[in-house]
């Protein structure tokens, strides 16, 4: 229909608002449109978004409890192919079929999840529902990039986030250092709320005693999973990050086998994943994160961890917040090791923003 693209665009504008708020499922927006017999008069009558915990899904929410009228026609628009795996509750495709009134479904893109991947579309067609797809815009593609990585490559999309002084340092040696201004901090907290997980090395937790939450009014509850790499599992449980693990999910990757050492963290509701030394590598850590639903991962340092991701080329985007002062001789480098030939990595400058006296550069891998 000539108006399909308009409704997909409306769904896209809502989609942008719910990024990072549907973990462990991808964000989806679904719109139910009611039309007269000739599709000349059309109006939105229901909106569904993926629920906060990931379920029920958007299509289900758009249809559920809606009172369809016999003399009207209904089209369901969705930003992703409706799912068709009945298991944890009724699938969206079954819900659409059971509604008996939705006779057209329009969606932006096929869901690469192997349980769906075109099967949702086929099942709708088999049930005499008219299906139209292929409305993947640049905006939707950008939003689902992490999800596509997760389902196709079994790893999240990785964003590195650094705050540096003008001379490129990320801290004063062995000191918690405030690098950027309040607005940049707020921007970063907003960024966190759009992610499924944040990852840091154990030394950043020790030195900065950081909380890693999204401290913006109303967004705290969208604090993503906080992930710490700590092979020895020797972090002090009195650090701030361990004070609120009931509220904000926290996960440590370790090589530590001692149950005694683990118990004190488990008591605080910290999840622990133990990998034996030969399996403790970035590839397995990312695979594990993807398997629990992490599609977008923000890596917040410190230097050893940045080095690890850079060295292994496991990153897709970089956010660099640059302040307006020098640190000089006491500076702590953003990366710890000599990085072999980073110059081969092609980066594309996506955006540059002025945030007060700070500058934010957003780079992406080509
Ligand atoms: N400005 C910024 O953007 C920014 C951001 C974050 C931090 N910082 C600063 O950076 C400094 C901390 O950086 P850092 O380099 O000392 O420490 P880090 O990168 O935060 O943490 C390094 C630690 O992570 C653990 N780790 C676990 N798995 C690892 C692996 N596969 N490879 C490497 N390390 C692994 C190791 O300790 P275990 O033995 O416990 O495993 C290692 O010592 C602080 O001064 C902090 O303020 C700045």
Nearest ligand 1 atom to the CA of 285 is 31
State phi, psi for 27 to the nearest 5 degrees. Answer: -75, 135
Residue 214 Cβ inside 6 Å of ligand 1? The answer reads no
Nearest ligand 1 atom to the CA of 305 is 19
Q: Where are the alpha helices (DSSP H) in 16-168?
A: 58-63, 92-99, 119-126, 138-153
The rounded Cα 358 to chain-centroid distance in angstroms is 25
Please list the pLDDT of the chain residue by residue as tens digits (366 residues): 889 999 999 999 999 999 999 999 999 999 999 999 899 999 999 999 999 888 899 999 999 989 999 999 999 999 999 999 877 778 999 999 999 999 999 999 999 999 999 999 999 999 999 999 998 889 999 999 999 999 999 999 999 999 999 998 898 887 888 999 999 999 999 999 999 999 999 999 999 999 999 999 999 999 999 999 999 999 999 999 999 999 999 999 999 999 999 999 999 999 999 999 999 999 999 999 999 999 999 999 899 999 999 999 999 999 999 999 999 888 888 887 666 677 788 899 999 999 999 999 999 997
Sheet holding 42-49, edge to edge: 42-49, 29-35, 73-78, 102-107, 130-133
**How many angstroms does the Cα of residue 362 sit away from the middle of ligand 1?**
22
- Give me the pLDDT at residue 281, please: 97
- Give me the pLDDT at residue 73, please: 96
Residue count (the chain): 366
Residue 332 Cβ inside 6 Å of ligand 1? The answer reads yes
59 annotated active-site: yes
Best residue among 159, 163, 204 to mutate for probing ligand 1, ranked by most atoms within 8 Å of CB: 204
Considering only the C-alpha atoms of the chain, give the largest distance between any 2 of them, rounded to a whole number of Å.
76
Q: List, as one string, the DSSP characters of 169-201.
A: EEEETTS----S-HHHHHHHHHHHHT-SEEEEE
Tell me the β-bridge partners of 44.
Answer: 33
Nearest ligand 1 atom to the CA of 179 is 1
State phi, psi for 219 to the nearest 5 degrees. Answer: -105, -5
Instruction: Spot the catalytic one: 34, 59, 81, 300.
Output: 59
- Give me the pLDDT at residue 173, please: 86
Task: State the Rg of the chain over Cα.
Answer: 23
**How many angstroms does the Cα of residue 304 sit away from the middle of ligand 1?**
5
- Give me the pLDDT at residue 324, please: 93
Residue 304 Cβ inside 6 Å of ligand 1? The answer reads yes
- Give me the pLDDT at residue 162, please: 95
Q: Which helix (H) or strand (E) holds 344?
A: none
Angle, to 10 degrees, between the axis of helix 4-15 and the axis of helix 138-153? 70
Tell me the β-bridge partners of 130.
Answer: 104
């Amino acid at each position: 229909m000539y108006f399909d693209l308009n409704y997909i665009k409306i769904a896209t504008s809502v989609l942008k608002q719910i990024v990072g708020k549907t973990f462990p499922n991808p964000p989806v927006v679904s719109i139910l449109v009611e039309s007269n017999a000739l599709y000349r008069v059309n109006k939105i009558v229901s909106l569904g978004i993926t629920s906060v915990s990931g379920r029920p899904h958007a299509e289900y929410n758009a249809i559920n409890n809606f009172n369809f009228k016999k003399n009207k026609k209904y089209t369901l628009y969705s930003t992703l192919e409706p799912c068709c795996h009945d298991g944890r509750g009724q699938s969206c495709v079954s819900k659409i079929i059971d509604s008996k009134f939705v006779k057209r479904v329009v969606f932006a893109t096929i869901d690469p999840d192997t349980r769906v991947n075109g099967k949702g579309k086929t099942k709708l067609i088999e049930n005499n529902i008219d299906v139209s797809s292929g409305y993947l815009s640049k905006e939707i593609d950008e939003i689902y990039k992490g999800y596509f990585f997760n389902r196709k490559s079994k790893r999240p999309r990785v964003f590195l986030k650094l705050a540096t002084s003008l001379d490129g340092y990320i801290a004063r040696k062995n000191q918690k250092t405030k690098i950027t201004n309040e607005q940049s901090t707020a921007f970063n907290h907003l960024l966190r709320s759009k992610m499924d997980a944040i990852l840091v090395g154990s030394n950043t937790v020790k030195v900065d005693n950081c909380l890693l939450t999204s401290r913006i009014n109303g967004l705290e509850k969208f604090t993503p999973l906080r992930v710490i790499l700590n092979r020895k599992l020797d972090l002090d449980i009195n650090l701030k990050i361990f004070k609120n693990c009931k509220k904000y999910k926290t996960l440590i990757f370790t090589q530590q086998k001692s149950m005694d050492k683990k118990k004190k963290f488990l008591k605080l509701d910290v999840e622990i994943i133990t990998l034996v030394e030969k399996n403790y590598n970035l590839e397995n850590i990312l695979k594990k994160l993807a398997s629990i639903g992490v599609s977008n991962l923000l890596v917040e340092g410190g230097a050893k961890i940045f080095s690890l991701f850079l060295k292994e080329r496991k990153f897709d985007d970089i956010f660099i917040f640059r302040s307006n002062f020098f640190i000089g001789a006491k500076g702590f480098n953003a990366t710890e090791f000599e990085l072999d030939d980073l110059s081969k990595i092609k980066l594309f400058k996506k955006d540059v923003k002025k945030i007060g006296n700070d500058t934010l550069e957003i780079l992406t891998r080509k």
